[in-house]
Amino acid sequence: MCSISWIQKVLCRELNACDVQCYHLEDNLFVLQSCWPPTITGGISPCIIIETPHKESVTTDFSRFKKYRFRNLFINPSPLPELTWGNSKDVWLNILKKENRYAHCKHFTSLHSSLQPHMRSILLDWLLEVCEVYALHRETFYLAQDFFDRFMLTQKNINKSMLQLIGITSLFIASKLEEIYAPKIQEFAYVTDGACSEDDIVRMELIMLKALKWELCPVTIISWLNLYLQVDALKDVPKVLLPQYSQEKFIQIAQLLDLCILDVNSLDFQYRTLAAAALCHYTSTEVVKKASGLDWDNISECVEWMVPFVNVARKVSVKLKHFKKVAVEDCHNIQTHTNYLDMLEEVNSGVASTAPGQLSPVSTAGIITPPKSTEKK
């Protein structure tokens, strides 16, 4: 609403007429009323603001409007130390922006009537095994997992017979991005045991790249875990680019995340929240706050959801594996595989309290298995 003084100036300048009385616009409603006889034609009809007998109700309780409030996605301060190659605050904000740009959702199964959540679990478990056979990095697997989940959100009514092709193509793309010596396309076709040809993979690669709009650089779960452990381990003289944390702690938490990601419900949470919740189970909320900037309120739901996974994962011993042609200091970054489907079935049976005669959410029938390491092409 224009100010009263502005209205006064306009009226006096145009008509040099009556004074306009000002009122305090606090709790009352006002209307415009003409103060000149109707015989005057042309020009501007002057008016004054007079108080109405109606009172405006003043809202004092704003609790019901909480959902309309602006929420700052970057309210958490940067946990990164001072960097010699960039501004730590800017780096942190860019990472968070990327996290929000690469959206994922568990409801992609509703877009595909012939697919069930356990099919995704079986596929990802198979990709984990392929990664171990070819000594691919954990980051490669988690890139493939992200590509697969986001691609499925862009499609409708994908037949289950296409899942293996989409999965192996996701891994093919991820390996070209992450691996120095990526397996040849012939090897990716070989591990499908004739189900996917090289031409099939190439064609699917183009389809996926277009569907993903060439957005191929998400901050994966394992990247968040690496960052959190690194920030927590940094001392007085930070060396951010060189691993400072325990390899044993890393592979222990990584195995928990491997198990969690097989469950489609993990997609309810952001990747950084999943990594922070896993870290919380093996350290403390203080460590999580220091490393991630996330408070307990930010991770409590995910921590609670992860409890049955932790209980099952802790029953399985984890040892650092060594791989040929892989430096000892990099061995923890190589993806490994264990009996994740059995572990996931144990998690689901404990959480859902499966009724007698009801099938388990995870079925191991028809599991795709890669060749043994001694049978690689």
Provide the pLDDT for residue 264.
95
Q: Which of 373, 276, 360, 325 is nearest to 79 (CA)?
A: 276
More confident residue, 131 or 23: 131
Rounded Cα distance between 50 and 209, Å, is 65
Q: Which of 56, 307, 102, 262 is nearest to 167 (CA)?
A: 262
Provide the pLDDT for residue 1.
46
- Residues 11-68: pLDDT tens digits? 444 444 444 444 444 444 455 455 555 555 555 555 555 555 665 565 555 545 444 4
- Residues 272-307: pLDDT tens digits? 999 999 999 999 999 999 999 999 999 999 999 999
Distances (CA, A) of 101 to 98, 194, 215, 260: 5, 36, 9, 22
Which amino acid, one-letter code, is at 278?
A: A
pLDDT of residue 367 exceeding 50, the answer is no
For the chain, give the number of residues. 377
- Residues 69-87: pLDDT tens digits? 444 444 567 888 777 778 8
Provide the pLDDT for residue 33.
53
pLDDT grade for 271, boundaries at 50, 70 and 90 = very high
Task: Show the beta-strand stretches assigned E in the chain.
Answer: 28-34, 47-55
Provide the pLDDT for residue 363.
37
Domains for the chain: give ranges and CATH numbers.
4-55 (no CATH), 79-102+219-354 (1.10.472.10), 107-218 (1.10.472.10)
pLDDT of residue 207 exceeding 60, the answer is yes
Q: Look at residue 31 and give its three-state secondary structure.
A: strand
More confident residue, 109 or 306: 306
What angle separates helix 221-233 from helix 138-154, to the nearest 10 degrees?
140
pLDDT grade for 109, boundaries at 50, 70 and 90 = confident
Please say whether the beta carbons of 212 and 151 come within 8 A.
Answer: yes
Provide the pLDDT for residue 370.
60
Rounded Cα distance between 337 and 235, Å, is 33
Q: What average pLDDT does the chain have?
A: 81
Rounded Cα distance between 174 and 76, Å, is 30
- Over range 189-201, report the average pLDDT: 96
Percent pLDDT > 90 in the chain is 54
CA 9 to chain centre: 56
Please say whether the beta carbons of 257 and 222 come within 8 A.
Answer: yes
More confident residue, 241 or 67: 241
Rounded Cα distance between 138 and 254, Å, is 9
Rounded Cα distance between 293 and 232, Å, is 11
- Residues 325-342: pLDDT tens digits? 889 889 999 999 999 999
Distances (CA, A) of 42 to 14, 46, 227: 12, 11, 73
Rounded Cα distance between 182 and 173, Å, is 10
Please say whether the beta carbons of 121 and 309 come within 8 A.
Answer: no
